[in-house]
Structure 1
Amino acid sequence: MIDAIAFKYRTGCPWMDLPAEFGSWKGAHNQLWKWAADGTWERIFTALLAQPDAEGDLDWVVAVDSTIVRAHQHAARARQKLPRQASPPTMPSDAPAVV
């Protein structure tokens, strides 16, 4: 199961396109969600990272770029089209007219 889940996230393929060697894609998908819901993934990652973190062997680097983080156009506060206001009326001036 772990190999199937790792393959899916490493390649980015849809669940239905998992190779047959991993077994049922539905089984892998269901197991992933069960483990996420009951906290199994958190316990696994905590256990795997505890010793290297205690020894100072971990360097935490977070890289975010626009290829993986996307916002909907409304999240970016896209300008809304508002009705145009009429120009203020022109007031006659006291200056002499230009001929």
Structure 2
Amino acid sequence: MTRRFELTDAEWERLAPLLPSSGGRGGQWVDHRRVVSGILYRVRTGVPWRDLPERFGPWKTCYERHRRWSADGTWRRILDELRIGADLAEGDDWTVGVDSTAVRAHQHAAGARHRRPRRLRKRGT
């Protein structure tokens, strides 16, 4: 049984082959599954990196792996591969949802200067 925000076995089977196999010059990385679950937990809950639960390992490991994979395009490649699989599974019958909602704000909500209006002087005084 997996906890909330953690990868299921089926999700991990699809994701594992798409991840880099080693850390490059330093050798082998610690468990990808635990780190990726930590990254997903942080993304879904919005907690600061330093507040990640200990079950995901050191927060800095999760942060550095997320930063490195964002910079080198690993996340983009994973998304592209998963999207191809999803498109093939859906076939010709897939749908797209687009939301073009626009919300207008009052001028004072947009960060405009908040000056008091000038006092009008009466003429002749």
Fold shared per TM-score above 0.5 = yes
| Structure of greater Rg | 1
Q: Are positions 1:59 and 2:96 aligned together?
A: yes
| Number of residue pairs matched by the alignment | 83
SS for the counterpart of 1:78 is coil
Cα distance in 2 for residues equivalent to 1:63 and 1:41: 26
Match of 1:37 in 2: 71
Structure 2: which 5+ runs fail to align?
A: 1-34
Q: Give the TM-score of the pair, scaled to structure 2.
A: 0.51
AA of the residue aligned to 1:27 = T
Q: Out of 5, 11, 27, which is 2:45 matched to?
A: 11
8 Å Cα contact 2:69/2:75 also seen in 1:
yes
The AA in structure 2 aligned to 1:23 is: G
Mind listing any 5+ residue stretches in structure 1 that lack a counterpart? 67-72, 91-99
Q: Secondary structure at the match of 1:86?
A: coil
Identity of aligned residues (%): 39
Matched ranges for 1:81-96 at <5 A: 81=115, 84=118, 86-87=120-121, 89=123
Contact 1:52 1:58 in 2 (8 A): no
Which has the bigger relative contact order, CA under 8 A and spacing at least 6? 2
